[in-house]
Amino acid sequence: MSIEFYSLPLRLDKLMKGDAHQKCSLKESISQHIHLIITTSFGEMQQDQQFGCSIWDCDFDNLTANNKIRENIKLSIQQSVSKYEQRLEAIKVEIYIKEEELVTKINGRQVKKRMDVQIMAINKLTSEKFIYLDHFFTGPLSYY
């Protein structure tokens, strides 16, 4: 049995008109929802001030040690994904932080912190292993 899910971003205008909305698979739906959780700061969603994660709290933090930053973000993502992505269980989060030199059109070269996020879990509906991989640059937060 194949279930289709609405793809992000939601186009409410299409849904209200009864037009077709882009669909995605269960795995893509979970991945999109996790990405939304990670890229939302606490308090940004008015209906639920707890939705999001603390990655924004350390966006310009150059003083705190990477180990402390990594543990804080890891715990925050673990708690938020466990709470808001209920299609997963046995969730394990790993964060890797490193410095990376980027070439930009405006500033030439700049060094930013790269944060690699790996989430491993079990999909409750299919009992399959689920792996989510993403990376972000901080100061300011960006993703490509």
The Cα diameter of the chain in Å comes to 51
Is 21 domain-assigned?
yes
Percent of the chain's residues with pLDDT above 90: 42
DSSP state of 49: T
Q: What is the pLDDT of residue 45?
A: 86
Is 144 domain-assigned?
no
Q: Which of 102, 100, 80 is nearest to 91 (CA)?
A: 80
What CATH number is associated with residue 110?
Answer: 3.10.450.40
Is 93 domain-assigned?
yes
Is 143 domain-assigned?
no
Is 31 domain-assigned?
yes
Domain span holding position 82: 5-138
| pLDDT band with cut points at 50, 70 and 90 for residue 60 | low
- Taking the C-alpha atoms of residue 24 and residue 125, their distance in angstroms, rounded to an integer, is 16
Domain count within the chain: 1
- Taking the C-alpha atoms of residue 58 and residue 88, their distance in angstroms, rounded to an integer, is 27
Residue 43's region, left for phi above 0, alpha for psi from -120 to 50, else beta, is: left
| pLDDT band with cut points at 50, 70 and 90 for residue 63 | low
* pLDDT at residue 110 is higher than 90: no
